[in-house]
A and B are shown apart, each in its own frame.
Chain A
Amino acid sequence: MSGLIAVLDYGIGNLRSAEKALVHLGAEARLVTDPDEAAAAAGVVLPGVGAFGRCAEALRSTGLDVVALDAVAAGKPFLGICVGFQLLYEGSEEAPGAAGLGVLAGTVRALGAGVKHPQMQWNRLVRRRGRDSRLLQSLPESPWVYFVHSYAPEVTDDVVATCDYGGEVVAAAERGPVWGTQFHPEKSGARGLAILANFVAACAPARPGR
C-alpha cells in the first residue's frame, strides 16, 4: 500500500484547497478520479461543496461511492469535509430522495430557524465532554475554525465537537478511523492545518521495526 492520500475528485469542483493543504503538510496527496488508484491509497479524503443531492449523485455516477465504502470497510483513515462529511450519514433533509453512504448513523438537518443561512463565518469549537478526539489531538480546547453550510448532521454518539449557531450545531465527528468535519480545516488557518496534520499522521504507514 502506498502512502498516498486520495482526495476523491468526483467532478464537483473546488477540491484543490484540500489537496494543497495536505501537500503543504508534506503528505503525498492528490486528486484521484480513478477507482483503482483510490483503492490503493493509504487514506481517503472526501470533500464536497454545494448541495447534498448533487454531490451524492456525482459520487455514485463516478463509482467513487464504492471506493469510499471499501476504504471504510478496510479500516483506512477517512476524512469527510463539509458536504463530504454529510455524505457519510444516511441522508439529508436537503435532498430527501438521495441516500448518503450510511457509514455514520443519523441524518443531516437544516440549521435552526432564527439564524442566517448559511452559517458562513469563523466559529469556536465546543468539545463534547468525555469524548476523546484524535482529530482534535494537541489543539486548544476551543479553536476557531471556518464554516460555510446551511445543513449539519444531527447530534449522535460519534460527535466530538459542536459549535454554537442558534443552538448546538455538529462540527466534527469520529467513529474509529472515520473522521468528518462540517467546517473547512483547509480554510481554518493554523488550527485547521493541525487537524489535517493529525489525519496525515493517522495515514502514515507503520514503519518497519515498530
Chain B
Amino acid sequence: MDLLPAVDLKDGAAVRLVQGDFGRSHDYGDPVALARRYVEGGARWVHVVDLDAARSGVARNRDRVLDIVRAVAVPVQVGGGVRTLADADALLDAGVARVVVGTAAVTDPPFLVALAARHPGRVAVGLDHRGHGAEVSVAGWEEGGGVSLDEVLSRLEEVDLAAVVVTAIERDGMLQGPDTAGLVQVLGRTRHPVVASGGVRSAEDLRALAGLRAGGRGLAGAIVGKALVDGVLGIEEAVRACAASG
C-alpha cells in the first residue's frame, strides 16, 4: 500500500480544513516545502488538493500545484476543480501524474467516460461520503450529490480508472481513525484500485489499512493529511507502516 501524503492548497498556502468546512482551517505555510519534506521522508506519491478550485471550479492555485510537480521527484496526484477536459489536459500535460475528479464524475457520467478514454490510467474518481450507503457528497462537500456510494461504484465499473479515492467526511481532519468497515465494503464492490482517505492518526491506523483484505486484495493507497502536518505522525514512520503489511 502506498502512502499519499496530502498537501491541501487554499489561497496559495498549505492548509487543512476540519470536516471539509471552509470556515475552519489551519495554515501550514509553504506547500512546496511541505511536499519536499514528505518526499525526502520516503513518500512515493504526493496528493495535492486545490481546495479553492474544488469549491468554486476556478483553478486559482494551479501555479502552486505545478510548482510542487516540478519540485518533487515522485508522481503527483491532483484533485479539486477538475470539471472539464481542458482542466484535466492542463494538469496532465504539465506533468501531473493523475487527476482526481469528484463532482463531475457524479453529475456528468459522459464527461467521466470521455476523460478516462482521453487519459487512460491517469484519472481517479474521488468519492466523499457520510457513512456507507449514504449520499455521495460533492462540490467541495457543501451540497449533497444525491447518489448513493454503491450506485456510483456500480456505474464506475465500466470506466477505465486509475483508482477510486474514498473519503469518509466525518473522519477527515478529525484524527478519529479510518472507516475500515466501510473500506472493506468498497473493496468488495469495485474492481478498481481503492485509495482510502480520512481519519488516519497513527502508524497503527496505517498498518490496519494496509492489512485490510476483501475479495483477495487490499487497498492501493492511503492519503494522510492532518496527522503528518501536525507532526502527530512522522513521515518516515508513516512510510514504514504502509510498507509493513503489503
- Taking Cβ atoms with an 8 Å cutoff, the residues of A that contact B are 13-14, 16-17, 20-21, 24, 116-120, 122, 144, 146, 148, 186-190, 192-193
Could you tell me which residues of chain B, from 46 to 91, have a CB within 8 Å of some CB in chain A?
A: 69-71, 73-75
Residues of A within 8 A of B121 (CB): 116-120, 148
- How many residues from B make CB contacts under 8 Å with A? 20
Q: Is the CB of A20 within 8 A of B70?
A: yes
The one of A17, A146, A190 that contacts B95, using a Cβ cutoff of 8 Å: A17
Known: A117-B121, A120-B121, A144-B44. A16 touches B73 (CB 8 A): no
Q: Is residue B108 contacting chain A, with contact meaning CB distance below 8 A?
A: no
Q: Is the CB of A187 within 8 A of B97?
A: yes
Sample of 17 more A-B contacts, CB < 8 Å, known A16-B95, A17-B70, A118-B121: A14-B95, A16-B70, A24-B73, A116-B120, A116-B160, A117-B121, A118-B120, A120-B97, A120-B122, A120-B162, A144-B44, A146-B74, A148-B122, A187-B73, A187-B74, A187-B97, A189-B44
Q: Is the CB of A148 within 8 A of B97?
A: yes
Q: Is the CB of A146 within 8 A of B120?
A: no
Least Cβ–Cβ distance between B39 and chain A, in angstroms: 7
Residues of B within 8 A of A189 (CB): 39, 42, 44, 73-74
Q: Which residue of B is nearest A122, CB measured?
A: B44
Residues of A within 8 A of B39 (CB): 189
Residues of B within 8 A of A24 (CB): 73
Residues of A within 8 A of B44 (CB): 122, 144, 146, 189
Least Cβ–Cβ distance between B212 and chain A, in angstroms: 20
Q: Is residue B93 contacting chain A, with contact meaning CB distance below 8 A?
A: yes
Q: Which residue of A is nearest B39, CB measured?
A: A189
Q: Which residue of B is nearest A12, CB measured?
A: B93
The one of A120, A122, A148, A192 that contacts B73, using a Cβ cutoff of 8 Å: A192
